[in-house]
Each structure stands twice: as structure tokens, then as C-alpha cells.
A and B are shown apart, each in its own frame.
Chain A
Amino acid sequence: MAVDAARGAGSLRGARLRISGIFWRRPWLKLLTLLALPVGAFVAVYAASLGAMLVSSFWTSDSFTAEIVHTWTLDQYRTIFDLGDPTYLRIAARTIGMAAAVTVTDAILAFPLAFFMAKVAGPRTRAFLFVLVLLPLWSSYLVRIYSWTTILSATGPLNWALNGLGLPDAQLAFTNTAMWIVFSYVWLPFMILPIYAALERIPGSLLEASSDLGARGARTFRSVVVPLALPGVAAGSIFTFSLTLGDYITPLLVGGPGSSLIGNIVSEQSASNLTFAAAYAMVPVAVMAIYIALAKRLGAFEAL
């Protein structure tokens, strides 16, 4: 630094010109310099940790000291795909099923609202609805999950309301149904926004053209709106699906006996049996890879 200052302003400009000359002569170097930081971070932080996880999933842990034993083995995967004791297959199937159910539920709930916001509501109503959709994200998701445990509990507001209507108690607290409700609730905004973005891009003229050609509302919806909005649904489903796949707080707080998801097992085993946790964590990675390939076919990445 001291050397730079001593050279003075003239030579500083010279250096700058020289550097820009180098970049002009070698455009690839310019691109590399610009991308070095994000790509470096991506490789070091993201790809490297995934790689480390993949590698350690082929090792084992000492059952007592939890030290990693560096011998190559498929033991961890054998435990997961053990047909004699399908505990981990069952939990994986439950997790994927839950993610699918939540995604479908959210798509059904989000579509009409997103359509109303994009095509029907005026600017003021639209802004108001936006605030409403985003409002839950302002508070901690833990708080929102805990409030659901209160709502669904044996003596909570839900049963109070049901009893007031002369209906029997709903035994929802600490069940997989409760988990499905809470997941659908917490991830809903992540479905609404991409669908809204996709619907908003459909020009009004297309809808008019459809009706000019004699199509009624239902036909226009089926043949024009849905195909054009599908990439938005696919994009939203990536969020809801992957967020459910990786969550372990919700099952912990609202789940009952037999509500463990992949994330719970990974979190429980992460220190005592790191290699198994790594192997089990590869399951959602593989599932997401397949899912994203499918979503790409539906054009999800054009709507993000």
C-alpha cells in the first residue's frame, strides 16, 4: 500500500490502463475475474460440502466413540435399503409422500388466489393481497408452528369451535394430518408467488382472442391459462416439495408417534453416526435431482 501511494496519481492511471488493456485482449479473463468470487463461493461452500457428504456416506463410524473409520463400504446404504427392517425406507416414503401431498394441496389453494391477484384485482387490492400473502413470513416460522399446536390441541380453539357446533372433538393434535396441515400452511406463499408471476405474464389479448374464437370461460381456462401457468406451478412445487423434504422442526413439534421424516433421522444421527446421516441425507438429494429434471421438462425454470 505504501508503495502504491508513493508512485502518485499518474502511474496509478497508467496501471489502470494496462489492466484494462489486458482484459480487453483476453475477454475470457475478464469473465473469469468477474465470476471468480461467486463461483469460488459456490465450489468451496456448496459443491465441496455436498461432495464431502457423498464421500463420507461410503465410510462408517465407530459405534462407541463416533470416530469416522475411513474404509470404503456400502454398509450405510445397505441399512437404508434393508428390506428385512424397512424402517428407513418407510421414513423416506413417508417424507416423499408428505412432500407430494403438501405440494398438491398448495397448488390447489394457491392457483385461484394467484389468478385473482394477477388478472382480476385492481392495483390497490393486489398490493393488499401481496401484503397478506407475505405477512406470515414476517414472523418466525417456529412461532407459527407452535401456534398450530395450540389450535389443534385437545382443548384448543378448533375443538372448542367444533363442540360449539355440536360436533365431536377432532383428534388432530400430533398426527400426520396435523403435519400435513401445518406444512401446507407454512409453505403456501412459496407456491402463490411463482404462480402469480406466471399468470401475470399471460397477455390479456390471448384471453380475449380465446373468447373471440368462441371459447367459454372453462375452455379458455383449460386450453390457454393452465398450459401457460404450468411452469409457474412447477416452479412453486420445487419450493414446497424441497422445503418439506428437508424439514425436521415441524415433525418434532406437531408430529405424533410415527411422524419422523428424513430430516429427523439425519439430525438425530448427525454426530453419533455421521456417515449414516450423510448417506441418508443423499436420499432427498437424489429425489430432488429427479424432481427437478421432471420440473424442467414442464418449463419450471422459465417461470422462476
Chain B
Amino acid sequence: MRTRIRGWHVALVGLVVALAVPAAGVSEVTQVPTKIGPGEGALSVVEWGAYTDPSFAKKFEQQTGCKIKRKDAGSSNEMFNIIHGGGGGGGGQYDLVSASGDASLRLIYAGDVAPVNVRLIPSWKDFLPTFKSPPHNTVKGVHYGVSLQWGPNTLIYNTKKVKPAPRSWSAIYDPKYKGKITVPNNPIQIADAALYLMKTKRSLGIRDPYELTKTQFDAVVALLKQQKPLLKRYWLYPADNIKDYKTGDSIIGATWPYQTLQLQAAKVPVKEIIPKEGVTGWADTWMLTKRAPHPNCAYKWMAYAATPPVQAQQALVFGETPVNPKACPYMNRIQKGSCAGYHQNAPASYARSIRFWKTPIKTCGWGGRTDCMDQQAWNNAWASITG
């Protein structure tokens, strides 16, 4: 008899805990912490490969005792899937996610990430104004994360095989390079084509490559469908993209500065350019998940990653540009001239000229229209283009 009562006790307690835990999670998110408590000894991140590279993360682990566990993602969709899947809010597994602009708004509206108190990030006040409260991570004045790094989506080509040197995005739609072109396997790639049409086919009246009406969208999708037979493949992982230029399977395509740097270091004759139509770009944010098991370590990392020396180190490991301009001298110290190389010292207008990734939503940012194509439409169109 006694044992049976115990069993019921356990079941009852289990039920109460199961009911109370999600409730506790919900009530907590309305307020942000006002100081960072002692570290929990661990930090679990979903990141773009090398975003917590040991070359600068080791020191953090030693200083704070927060041991970093990493999970690399290959695309924004994959990142969103990891954080949103498993019950949402990081599933109680992950603390931070280095979300790009095409995933960050989705994470905010899906309720997966928590508001962040930027006063606990001392370097935040030094950030470029564009990245202090950008629309992709700040909603109605509430910060859902700390901006990190940014960079352009560039055109890469093999200097021995592609002559004359391309100057326009038209090169990746050119039958001349049939079977040698590679582009990223990511629905946000539609924006690259939209930007190209925005500049070359003005009759479409595209104002923002992420805010497309049905007519504009159909024209962009048609262009991408024409491009498909010219492609070698759609790449998902940067490592695959690098390999394709090493083996010669690809000689021209869309890439990130990271791959170009890796290939140039491996003595592959490649060069990257910003074509005359301009480029889309990404701006990444460290976002804190709603059910983060180690929030103090997460705050410690966000503060650490925003400091000038770490910003500089990460920028040069990954080939991107810090949001903190004070990183400039540190970049030059590690690699001479790199600050100018990554446009870190360029005027703020440079960062503003890049069309940063953002989640496509129904509300167009222009003309008060609400019939723009949303992320779901982009995903479906991408499946019909690539599949």
C-alpha cells in the first residue's frame, strides 16, 4: 500500500512540474535581467561555423568558466528549425543563436528568443549606429539580441578561367558559363535576383528586394528558373562551396567573403567583387533563446563578443566586418590593412548601401501595401525553382 501511494505521489509531482515549468518560462520573459549573475559553467550555441572559434573563445572559457558547446548550421532555415523545433525557444538545449537577418524576425515573432538588456553589453554604445537597433533584431524598441558582424554576398570567379573579369551579376545568368556556376541553396537568394532585376529591369518597379509584389516576384522566380540549367549546383555548406572551386567544378558564382579568403589562402586563383548592381548582405545577431539553460553565460558571451579585440579576431577568422568600429586598430594589428579591406573604416553610407537580409513579410515597407510575398511564399518558390 505504501509503495502505491508513493507512486501516485511521484506521478502527481511530475504532473505539477510539467504544468509549472512552461508557465514559469512564460512569466519570466516579460522582464530582462538588470545584472549578469555568476556563470553556469556551460554555454550551448547554434552558430555559423567558426563563430565561436577557439582562437578567441578559449580565453572566454578560461575567464568565465563557461564551456562552449557548439552546433553548426548550414542555412538560416536550418538555424530556425533547430531553435524553433524541439518545443521552441531552443528546446531548453540552446542558449544563443547567431541568427542572420532572414531568420531573426521569424525567431522573434515565433516567440523563440527573449528580449535582451543591451545595458549589460558595455561595448554596445560604440556600435555603428546602423547596427544598434536595426529592424532585423529590434521590434518596437525592444532588443532581441546584440548585433555581431556583417558582410556582403559577393560574386566570386576563377581569374584563370573567367575572362574578361565580370563586373555585373549578369555573369551568373550567362549561358557562357553553363555547368560552372554555383549559388547558395537558400530561399533568400531570391533577393539577389530581385536586386539584379531592380537595377536592370526598371519597368518592374522593384523598390526593395525583400518586398516584392506577386508580379515582381513571378518575374524574379522566372529569372531563377532560367538560371537553373546553367548551374552546377546549389551549395548548402561553405565547405562544399570551397571544394567546388578547388576541384574546378565551379568557376563563377555567388559566395561569402569567407570562402574567398579560404580559397585564396589555398592558392586557388579566385577573386571576389561587388558587382555594379550592388549586393545583398547579411548582418548577424547573437540572440538569446527563451528557454536558455545558461542565460548568465550567454550574457557574458554577448558582452565578450562585442569587445573590440574579439570583434577584430572574429572578423578576420570568418572574413566579415565588425559592428564595433573600435575593432579597427586591432584588425590592422593582426593583419595589416585589413580594416580598410573589410570596409570597417568606410563611412556609414557603405553599410547602408548594402541590402541586408530581412525576413520577407506580407506588409510591404512602401506604398502602404499588404500584398507582398512572405517567407512561406519564398520557401515554396525556392522549392519549385531548385527541386
Bound Cα distance from A30 to B325, whole angstroms: 74
Residue of B nearest to A61 (CB): B376
- Of the four ranges (under 10, 10 to 19, 20 to 34, 35 or more), the interface on chain B belongs to 35 or more
Considering the chains assembled together, what is the distance between the CA atoms of A273 and B81 in angstroms? 10
- B68: Cβ under 8 A from any A Cβ: no
Q: When the two chains form their complex, are residues A257 and B383 in contact, meaning their CB atoms are under 8 A apart? A: no
Q: Does A265 contact B (CB under 8 A)?
A: yes
Please tell me if the beta carbons of B247 and A268 are within 8 angstroms of each other in the complex.
Answer: no
Report the bound CA distance from A155 to B247 in whole Å. Answer: 5
**Contact A268 B106, beta carbon cutoff 8 Å:** no
A256→B81 contact, CB < 8 A: no
The CA-CA distance from A259 to B240 in the complex, in Å, is 16
Whether the Cβ atoms of A156 and B374 lie closer than 8 Å is no
Instruction: Please tell me if the beta carbons of A64 and B387 are within 8 angstroms of each other in the complex.
Output: no
On chain B, the residues within 8 Å of A253 by CB distance are 240
**With known contacts A64-B375, A272-B80, A154–B383 Cβ distance under 8 A:** no
A85 within 8 A of B: yes
**B63 interface hit (Cβ, 8 Å):** no
Most buried by B among A64, A256, A259, A265: A64
Q: Which residues of B contact A273 (CB under 8 A)?
A: 376, 379
B20 shortest CB reach to chain A, Å? 23
> How long is the Cα–Cα vector from A91 to B249 in the complex, in angstroms?
25
Enumerate chain A residues within 8 angstroms of B304, measured Cβ to Cβ. Answer: none
**Cβ-based interface call for B111 (8 A):** yes
Interface segment, one of B33-41, B134-142, B226-234: B226-234
Q: Is there an interface contact between B3 and A256, defined as CB atoms closer than 8 Å?
A: no
Chain B residues touching A, majority SS: helix
User: A174–B81 contact, CB under 8 A?
Assistant: no
Question: Would you call A268 and B77 a contact (CB within 8 A)?
Answer: yes
Which residues from A are CB-within-8-Å of B179? 171
Give Cα distance in the complex from A92 to B231, angstroms: 22
Tell me if A174 and B232 are in contact (CB < 8 A): yes
User: CB of B110 within 8 A of chain A?
Assistant: yes
A171: nearest chain-B partner, CB-CB: B179
Q: In the bound complex, do residue A252 and residue B236 qualify as a contact, i.e. CB atoms below 8 Å apart? A: yes
Known: A64-B374, A171-B179, A174-B232. A149 touches B384 (CB 8 A): no
- The answer, among B3, B110, B240, B383, for a CB contact under 8 Å with A87, is B383
Residue of A nearest to B79 (CB): A271
Q: CB within 8 A of A65: which of B109, B229, B244, B248?
A: B109
A66-106 Cβ-contact flags toward B at 8 Å (1 or 0)? 11000000000001000001011011000000000000000
Is B85 in the interface zone, CB < 8 Å from A? yes
Residue contact A174 to B376, C-beta cutoff 8 Å:
no
With a cutoff of 8 Å between Cβ atoms, the chain B residues found around residue A64 in the complex are: 106, 109-110, 359, 361-362, 374-376
Report the minimum CB–CB distance from B265 to chain A (whole Å). Answer: 19
Contact between A258 and B361, CB atoms less than 8 A apart: no
Residues of A within 8 Å of B333, CB to CB, are: none
Residues of A within 8 A of B59 (CB): none
A3 interface residue (CB < 8 Å to B): yes
Measured CB to CB, the closest approach of chain B to A19, in angstroms, equals 16
CA distance A258 to B230 in the complex (A): 11
A153 to chain B, nearest CB (A): 4
A3 to B243 CA separation, bound complex (whole angstroms): 67
Query: In the docked arrangement, what's the CA distance between A145 and B374, Å?
Result: 36
**Interface residue? B2 (CB, 8 A):** yes
Q: Let me know if B111 and A258 touch, CB within 8 A.
A: no
Give the Cβ gap from B9 to chain A, nearest Cβ, in Å: 15
A90 CB, nearest partner CB in chain B, Å: 7
* A260 located at the interface, meaning its Cβ lies under 8 Å from any Cβ of chain B in the complex: yes
Which residues of chain B in 356-387 are interfacial with respect to chain A, using CB atoms and an 8 Å cutoff?
A: 359, 361-362, 374-377, 379-380, 383-384, 386-387
Report A-chain residues with C-beta under 8 Å of the C-beta of B294. none
| Residues B232 and A256 in contact, CB atoms below 8 Å apart | yes
6 inter-chain pairs at a CB distance below 8 angstroms, sorted by A residue, are A63-B377, A87-B387, A88-B383, A173-B232, A257-B233, A272-B379
Given contacts A259-B233, A260-B383, A270-B81, 5 further A-B contacts (CB under 8 A): A87-B387, A174-B249, A257-B229, A268-B379, A272-B77
The 4 closest A-B pairs by CB, nearest first: A271-B81, A63-B376, A153-B247, A87-B384
